[in-house]
A and B are shown apart, each in its own frame.
Chain A
Amino acid sequence: MNTQFFAAWIEEIAAAVRSRRDHLTQLDAAIGDADHGANLDRGFTAVREALAAASPQTPGALLVLVGSTLIRKVGGASGPLYGTAFREMGKAFGDAAEVSLAELSTGLNAALSGVQRLGAAAEGDKTMVDAFAPAADALAQAVRDGVKPQEALEAAASAAEQGAKATVPLQARKGRASYLGPRSVGHEDPGAASTALLFGALRTVAAR
């Protein structure tokens, strides 16, 4: 997977966020403050502009730029959290021109650690971690099993989607939904839903 692959991934995420913008915002309206779709859309629009202006030469440089732009442009909790995720992944890739599936798995684990360090969320708190952690685990398992990249990323995307759906019955313990207490039960977490979009986009790009 080269720089072009990761550029295509980011393009795919931007398109997915744009088409699911209202859905994400409605999920957020139910248990948060109705801005998640609009914020991510604004962030990835800024990311596309930043990438066009800088044309980074390695996967690592590209992802660090994506992360920094999200931190600078999005605000809220999602800006720093997603921004840190992409930055950590980019840093894990270093200067390499190509990234293997195993390295992608390592990078995604670094991203997850960054998110958890910043947000102090664990699995089951009804946050983006509930989609991210199972996806990263599924990918790590696929690498150990030696399956093909396309199949591995399919497994990661499915795990993220299942993880997001599994937030519905949970009571939020982190983020703005936690203020609702038991009333946060019965709604899908918007951060977990957008994380599932990220892994879905990875699957889409790998399948091309």
Chain B
Amino acid sequence: MKKLINGVDTVVTDALRGIAAAHPSLRVDVENRIVFRADAPRPGKVGLVSGGGSGHEPLHGGFVGYGMLDAACPGEIFTSPVPDQIIEATKGVDGGAGVLHIVKNYTGDVLNFEMAAELSGDEGVEVATVLVNDDVAVQDSLYTAGRRGTGATLFVEKIAGAMAETGAPLAEVARVAREVNERSRSFGVALTPCTVPAAGKPTFELSDTEIELGIGIHGEPGRTRAPLREAREIVRTAMDAIDADLPLSGETLVMVNGMGGTPLIELYIVFAEVEAYLREKGATAVRSLVGNYVTSLDMQGFSVTTCSLTDELTRLWDAPVETPALRWGR
């Protein structure tokens, strides 16, 4: 497997050096692996910190900036960050109004953020945590680690970030973040596995005529394997799973997200089918994103994420944002 890397052990730091060089609006602590807004901490504003394994770019570092995150902590590829990193980021963005941790629901992320929140609290920083768990492919039950956090992470970061810019207190920012998560659902499909640089070979094998349904964002196989069909049919499977879990209706924010290796033209084909499906259900895609936002290295495939909007959420979604990967209105 060919990779554009200098070595498997320096993938994350080499990429961070690139992010630092490309984006002067960010302050990148390469040694401690933290991407800060250049102007952090902002006095009186709730700080937003997220993080997780690398390999999902632009998540999370690409969403650091005005109207979104104040800092991101990238771990190794598909490995959560460590508590030291998160504590350092938390202290670095605390402008006296407290810090919100946005955590995707994976055992490792939850454990490391929990430890960091506890220790940051000991050092006098007020921390609230919102857990993102939007993936309907996993049942939240005693028999799993609970639903995974996937595409809705972007929605939570954007909308909570906009709320924080208004000067709202920590409890209010956390409330709206949780509301976004509760109103969001995702489903992912893979056409190919991905290759983790340190592993050097694909995470699973899939023939040319098969797809994986219900994948996460770590190159893991999905819940089931199915034959490749027309995009329309694949989208229907994904949307049926979402609709069965939280019936689609009303004004909806929709993201068709590429997993990293799928051309944009195919994502638009998927979006057309998603939009048609929503109309069929009496829902309207009033806001949309199409592109590679929450990726899984070089995996081919897509995920679709929906969020049932309220006036407040629409207003916060539309508010200005200025980050490397998401920017409008400013």
Give the interface of A toward B (CB within 8 A).
25-26, 29-35, 38-39, 42, 71-81, 118-119, 171, 173-176, 178-181, 183
Contacts and interface: CB of A to CB of B under 8 A. Distances in A.
Contact of B82 (A32, A34, A79): A79
Interface residues of B, number: 37
B277 interface: no
A71 B144 contact: no
Most central of A26, A176, A179 by chain B CB within 10 Å: A179
Contacts of B77: 35
B107 A71 contact: no
B223 A181 contact: yes
Given A32-B220, A77-B106, A80-B112, 11 more contacts: A29-B203, A31-B220, A34-B219, A35-B199, A38-B199, A80-B115, A175-B107, A179-B137, A179-B138, A179-B216, A183-B223
B221 A180 contact: yes
B145 interface: yes
Contacts, number: 116
Contacts of B137: 179
Given A72-B84, A176-B106, A183-B221, A35 B78 contact: yes
Interface of B: 53, 75-84, 106-108, 111-112, 115, 137-138, 142-145, 148, 196, 198-199, 201, 203-204, 216, 218-221, 223-224
A87 B199 CA distance: 30
A53 B223 CA distance: 46
B84 to A, nearest CB: 5
Given A34-B219, A180-B220, A174 B107 contact: yes
Q: Report whether over half of chain A's contact residues are helix, strand or loop; otherwise say mixed.
A: helix
B148 A179 contact: yes
A34 B199 contact: yes
A80 B111 contact: yes
B143 A173 contact: yes
A76 B79 contact: yes
Most central of A33, A39, A119, A173 by chain B CB within 10 Å: A33
Contact of B220 (A33, A42, A74): A33
Contacts of A173: 142-144
A86 to B, nearest CB: 15
Contacts of B148: 179
Contact of B78 (A26, A33, A81, A179): A33
A76 B81 CA distance: 7
Contacts of A25: 198-199
B82 A118 contact: no
A129 to B, nearest CB: 13
A32 B218 CA distance: 8
Contacts of A77: 80, 106-108, 111
Contacts of B108: 75-80
